[in-house]
């Protein structure tokens, strides 16, 4: 009888030991899969950025007369904080938050642009706060505001540096309440 009890205990310990190893193996396998997926996404982002940078250089024949000469690779200068302002709406005023990045060409343009961020922020805030909620609701209105912002930023930078520096004003986030 005592031998049967010992055998039963040994079988329980063996089966619980196997269960522990199965659980540990499953967790380790899941961890490996998560790490592989994370590495794959990170390397994919770098390849996409590199590919877009290498494809972003246009030939002079494809440039329009309004665009400045494109020298160097595209670099992006982010504004340190989003622009928050109030615009008139149809029935009431709306609060708007816009996150902006500026596309420039070459490291020298990037450095000059970063040096004049307060001037750029002030100019963009004037342009954005002069808009209306109706303009910000439509794609055409957003495009018009981006073009106006680009013109105003270029003019402000030209008055200080002698160069327009900025090629595009990009909205990376727009929230209206």
pLDDT digits (tens, 9 = 90+) for 91-119: 888 899 999 999 999 888 899 999 999 99
> Considering the entire predicted model, what is its pTM?
0.57
Q: Specify the pLDDT at position 56.
A: 42
Asked which of 55-59, 134-138, 147-151 is least confident by mean pLDDT, the reply is 55-59
Q: Determine contact, residues 157/166, Cβ cutoff 8 Å.
A: yes
Q: Specify the pLDDT at position 72.
A: 67
Mean pLDDT score, 70-94: 85
Fold adopted by 72-176: Tetrahydropterin Synthase; Chain A (3.30.479)
Is residue 68's pLDDT more than 60? no
Q: Can you give the residue ranges of every domain in the chain?
A: 1-55, 72-176
Is residue 61's pLDDT more than 90? no
Mean pLDDT score, 52-65: 40
Q: Specify the pLDDT at position 99.
A: 94
* 133 — pLDDT class (breaks 50, 70, 90): confident
Q: Specify the pLDDT at position 33.
A: 78
């Amino acid at each position: 009888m005592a031998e049967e009890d010992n055998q039963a205990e040994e079988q329980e310990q063996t089966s619980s030991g196997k269960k522990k190893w199965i659980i540990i193996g499953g967790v380790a396998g899941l961890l490996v899969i998560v790490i592989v997926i994370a590495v794959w996404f990170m390397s994919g982002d770098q390849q996409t950025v590199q590919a877009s940078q290498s494809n972003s250089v246009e030939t002079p024949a494809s440039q329009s007369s309004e665009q400045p000469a494109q020298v160097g690779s595209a670099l992006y200068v982010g504004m340190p904080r989003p622009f928050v302002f109030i615009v008139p709406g149809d029935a009431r005023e709306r609060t708007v938050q816009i996150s902006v990045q500026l596309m420039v060409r070459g490291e020298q343009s990037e450095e000059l642009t970063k040096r004049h961020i307060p001037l750029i922020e002030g100019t963009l805030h004037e342009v954005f706060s002069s808009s209306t909620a109706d303009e910000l609701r439509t794609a055409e209105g957003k495009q018009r505001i981006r073009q106006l912002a680009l013109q105003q930023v270029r003019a402000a930078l030209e008055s200080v540096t002698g160069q327009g520096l900025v090629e595009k004003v990009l909205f990376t986030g727009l929230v209206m309440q």
